[in-house]
Amino acid sequence: MKMSVVVRTTTKMVSPFLVTYAAYLMLYGHLSPGGGFQGGVILAVAVILLITSHGYRKVRRRFHFNWASLIESSAGAMLVLLGLAGLAFGAFYSNFLPTEGGIILPFNVIVGLEVGAGFTFVFYILLRWVESD
| Boundaries of domain holding 92 | 5-131
Residues 6+ apart with CB under 8 A from 59: 47, 50, 51
Coil, strand or helix at 78: helix
State the chain's mean pLDDT as an integer.
88
Query: How many distinct structural domains can be found in the chain?
Result: 1
| Identity of the amino acid at 23 | A
| pLDDT class of 1 with cuts at 50, 70, 90 | low
Model pTM?
Answer: 0.85
What pLDDT was estimated at residue 116?
A: 94
If you average pLDDT over residues 12-29, what whole number do you get?
93
Closest to 43 measured CA to CA, from 125, 112, 128: 112
pLDDT tens digit string along 69-122? Answer: 899 999 999 999 999 998 988 888 888 888 888 899 999 999 999 999 999 989
Is the separation of the CB atoms in 114 and 69 below 8 Å?
no
